[in-house]
Chain A
Amino acid sequence: MPCDPCQPRPAARTGPDVSRRSVLRGIGAGSAGLALGAAAPLLTTGCTERADRYTPDGRLILSYWEKWTGSEGDAAQALVDAYNASQDEVFVQRTTISDMQNKLMLATAGGNPPDIAGTWSWVVIPYAEKNALTPLDGYMRDLGVERDDFIPVYWDMCTHRDFLWAMPSTPASLALHYNRDLIAAAHAHAPDYFDRHNLSAHAPPPDIARFEKLNEALTIVEIKRDGKAQQVRYTDLTDAEKAKPDDSFSIVALGHSPYEPDWYIPMYWLFFGGDVWDGESKVTPDDPGLIAWLRWIESYPKRFGPNNLQRFSSGLGQFGTAQNPFMTQLVAMQLQGPWNYTFINTYAPHLRWDVQAFPALDPVALPNPTLTECDVLVIPNGAKHPREAARFIAFASSQQGQETLNLGQRKFSTRLETSDAFFRDHPNPHIETFVELSRSESAATTPAMGIWKQYDEELRQACSSVFKLTKTPEDALAEACARAQWKLDRERKRWDRVGEARLEEWERAVR
């Protein structure tokens, strides 16, 4: 605005001359600065290194991410406390993390992972393949931790391409849990049927064929006869009533269903002597064990009706609740791990139950089959203190560490040697059965392939289609395997591109 000489001059200001524009500019600059300041950490994540943290008494703090909560979390904390008390150089700080897989992936990708992470054995291979883990061979060798001290199956599931990527923390093997009272009641109802099929009044048989006969004897259905609804055992139905299950009856209680729970549905093939791939490059849609497995799954809707099974399942409670069908005695037999004891003890303490190996198609060729899995401790690639982290992992793998953690979690030790006190103090009366199963020659693990999670998804879809009778076992399996092969080929192509460099890098790391 031009200055009018006739206008009186404004009174002189005593303070600094601050124009409106410069105030605005200042505010603008301030906003820009704030925005940049806020964005800076995001922009530089992965470019900067976190400073080491120390306790007031000068111990290096190691970050340990673990997924356990509740009593399992308490057991993990007891392990951490024991380690912190055993030395004065580092202090392990446990943080409970939900959705561990995604958070670990993002933290590792962002270059800011924890020093130690507690995850699952099935994560080991895909993460190792993607260079997201630190190989532990060198550290464990230096600390005197050897394969010979461990139940082989658990050590082996922590290795991939001849490198050690994790150490087992808490193990599991799966066993058939069964309700003794329900079996006894079925026997009392039809002793002739039990005799005819060579069934015991006290325990399920070891083979699938007779197991299914027991399943039918334990299954109770509701049917209308002469206009009146009545509950009868499946074995008491007429052939005509069995011929059209969805139209004839509804399910009141089941002996067993592979979908109760559905966690292991893509792995039941192991009880049929099947395998899902050749161990190298090909999936196996024609494997007789796989076909037999899906035919067994198909036998459920064919006998009990696909709609009946769906309706029955939709009315059941969730696993970790008092409405779990095994607790409410709506399902008499379930495939579960040692953790089931805690839930039974909490929600159905008066249940009379027992455990044994899940039946096999051919129990002579496949004695005491089981699926083994374990939780593991890993050092993510990019962790700042791998050597110190490895010492904690070695402690957790020691006899003392294993027994502290696994007694607290009601599981068992991954080591071959276990103290008498461990079994004496263990509340689960059947824990030694799980230990025996884990040492069985027929103990299996999830297939050692990087795409297993995707293959698992495809097999789940196949099972689902077969269970609903929308596809034949052969068609469903062919479809699932075709997609899995496509994914396996993609993964192998990727490995061909980066594999050589990876192996060299790992060799250098473990030297």
Chain B
Amino acid sequence: MMRMPRKETLTALMFISPWLIGLAVFTLYPLAASLYYSFTDFDVLSKPVWIGGGNYADMARDSVFWQSLYNTLFYAAFAIPLGLILSLLVAVLLNQAAKGQSVFRTLFFLPSIVPLVAVSMIWMFVFNGDFGLLNYLLTPVFDAVNGVLGTEYQPPNWLVASHLTKPTLILAGLWQIGGTVIIFLASLQDVPRSLYESAELDGANPAHRLWHITVPIISPVIYFNLIIGIINAMQIFVTPFILMPDGGTDRSALMYTVYLYDNAFRFNQMGYASAMAWVMFLIIVVLTWGATRLSRKHIYYAGA
């Protein structure tokens, strides 16, 4: 490899310096600072006091920390696979040559460009236990069932019943699959038509073609969406924060990042919040590494 003359290196560095300075000021410094603060008792307003691993030890015995971590993992465990499967199915449907194809593609992508706060407010109305849209639709169903069975069942209170709060968030999350669908759609258009034609000649039905041709060919994209899904799911914040700011009944929907935010900005426990952020970082690294290890043998790279 040729070495760049020093002057050219300097010129190049000067060109990228706006980004470098931005990276240093807005990313590297906060990262380093938060690592340091995670070992301190820091309330933002006064100087941090070094306490070693005190915050991490506190975290280990903080029941709400564990509960928020469990809630987040539960959410991720369902939201990621459901999101991936639904996105892929929608992408496959939108990839079919059909009348109004571009209209459908636009409609499916639209929710992704609506601000999350606005979407959350709409969900708040949809899931409202008394006058929500969902229960409005369910009420006739329940009435019919009650009429037959002679029971008095009522539609559930989605945002209040502790066993329903996490499923409600998962359901709300599925609404915004537009971005993932677009990525799948792009990759589907790279699948050679000849493979489908050969399979069709061999008598493969649509499900076989999807499983044996589409999925292997687009496996790198599935892997990419899986990793992005893990990162996004573990950092879910806006929807639970708007729908259930107190974490819901018995903190059943208190997500990790919401608890982190509470510690940082409501309780001024910035040192503890920084430690939580680093633990979250490590969890995401481990999950990503695990996903990479597990999926290594199943990903097909045409160029490899």
- Listed in ascending order, the chain A residues whose CB lies under 8 Å from chain B are 21, 24-25, 27-29, 31-32, 34-36, 39, 42-43, 102, 105-106, 108-109, 126-127, 130-132, 247, 307, 310-312, 314-315, 451, 453-454, 457, 460-461, 464-465, 468, 470-471, 483, 486, 490, 494, 497-498
Contacts and interface: CB of A to CB of B under 8 A. Distances in A.
B159 to A, nearest CB: 8
Nearest to B263: A454
Contact of A314 (B43, B129, B250, B268): B129
B249 interface: yes
B102 interface: no
Given A35-B21, A43-B25, A130 B267 contact: no
Nearest to B127: A314
14 contacts: A31-B15, A31-B17, A32-B17, A35-B18, A36-B17, A106-B44, A109-B44, A127-B45, A130-B268, A310-B160, A314-B130, A464-B246, A483-B64, A486-B62
B46 A28 contact: no
A32 B14 contact: yes
Contacts of B7: 21, 25
A42 B21 CA distance: 12
Interface string B235-276: 000000000001101110000000000100111100000000
Instruction: Give the secondary structure class of A's interface.
Output: helix
A102 B18 contact: no
Contact of A25 (B14, B61, B250): B14
Contact of B25 (A32, A39, A108): A39
Nearest to A22: B11
Contacts of A108: 45
B257 to A, nearest CB: 17
B11 A307 contact: no
B130 A311 contact: yes
B49 A497 contact: yes
Interface in B203-262: 246-247, 249-251, 262
Given A25-B14, A102-B265, A130-B268, A465 B160 contact: no
B130 A25 contact: no
Contact of A109 (B11, B17, B45, B61): B45
Nearest to A31: B18
B200 interface: no
B157 A311 contact: yes
B96 interface: no
A32 B18 CA distance: 6
Contacts of A126: 268
Interface of B: 7, 10-15, 17-18, 21-22, 25, 41, 43-46, 49, 58, 61-64, 128-131, 152, 154, 157, 159-160, 162, 246-247, 249-251, 262, 265-268
Contact of A307 (B63, B157, B267): B157
A35 B22 contact: yes
Given A109-B44, A470-B249, 20 more contacts: A27-B15, A28-B13, A28-B14, A32-B14, A32-B18, A35-B21, A36-B17, A36-B21, A130-B44, A132-B45, A132-B46, A310-B157, A314-B131, A461-B247, A461-B250, A464-B249, A464-B250, A465-B250, A468-B162, A468-B249
A494 B49 CA distance: 8
Contacts of A105: 44-45, 268
B130 A312 contact: yes
B129 A28 contact: no
B249 A465 contact: yes
A455 to B, nearest CB: 10
A329 to B, nearest CB: 18
A464 B254 CA distance: 14
Contacts of A27: 15
B293 to A, nearest CB: 38
Contacts of A307: 154, 157
A25 B13 CA distance: 10
A132 B46 CA distance: 7
Contacts of A461: 246-247, 250-251
Given A32-B14, A311-B130, A470 B250 contact: yes
A131 B46 contact: yes
A338 to B, nearest CB: 27
Contacts of B14: 25, 28-29, 31-32
Contacts of B44: 105-106, 109, 130
Contacts of B25: 39, 42-43
B243 to A, nearest CB: 12
A101 to B, nearest CB: 9
A131 B246 contact: no
A454 B267 contact: yes
Nearest to B15: A28
Nearest to A315: B130
B154 to A, nearest CB: 7
A314 B128 contact: yes
Of the listed residues B152, B159, B249, the one surrounded by the most CB atoms of chain A closer than 10 A to its CB is B249
Of the listed residues B41, B45, B49, the one surrounded by the most CB atoms of chain A closer than 10 A to its CB is B45
Nearest to A109: B44
B47 to A, nearest CB: 8
A28 B18 CA distance: 9
Contact of B11 (A28, A42, A130): A28
A403 to B, nearest CB: 34
B163 to A, nearest CB: 10
